[in-house]
Amino acid sequence: MPPPPERRADTRIRMKAPVELYVEGNSAPFRCATSDLSLYGCYIETIFPFPIGTALELKLQINSTLLIVGTVVTSDPQVGNGIKFSRMLPEDVEELRAFLTEKATADEEAAGEDTAQKKE
């Protein structure tokens, strides 16, 4: 049986990046990390996931702090949440795009080096 078709608009890159989540009505941030990241969303691992539809404000730490508004689109009990980004400043979008491109290139080069070393 073939895998289901990819529904995401952009490829997610497996990476841990620190993130603070803010939920309306709670001033204390929920600190966690991404397990994967794309231009349009991320997945966070947490044993206490938020319900689907929860609106969040995110402070994502890459080269700098990006401010993002998102919504929980998947909720996996004792695993985590998929978050779809809905609003970002244009300069934050461009910074995230450049960061992801750089990371994808570095990952591809590392994979190529691993393959070359195995052939030797």
**CA 60 to CA 56: how far, in whole Å?**
12
| Per-domain residue ranges of the chain | 13-119
CA distances from 96 to 4, 28, 30 (A): 27, 25, 21
pTM for the full predicted model: 0.82
pLDDT over threshold 60, residue 54: yes
Q: pLDDT for 71-105, tens place per residue?
A: 999 999 999 999 999 999 999 999 999 999 998 88
Q: Identify the pLDDT of residue 118.
A: 57
Comparing 58 with 7, which gets the higher pLDDT?
58
41-55, 75-89, 102-116: least confident range = 102-116
Q: Tell me, which fold does domain 13-119 have in CATH? A: Thrombin, subunit H (2.40.10)
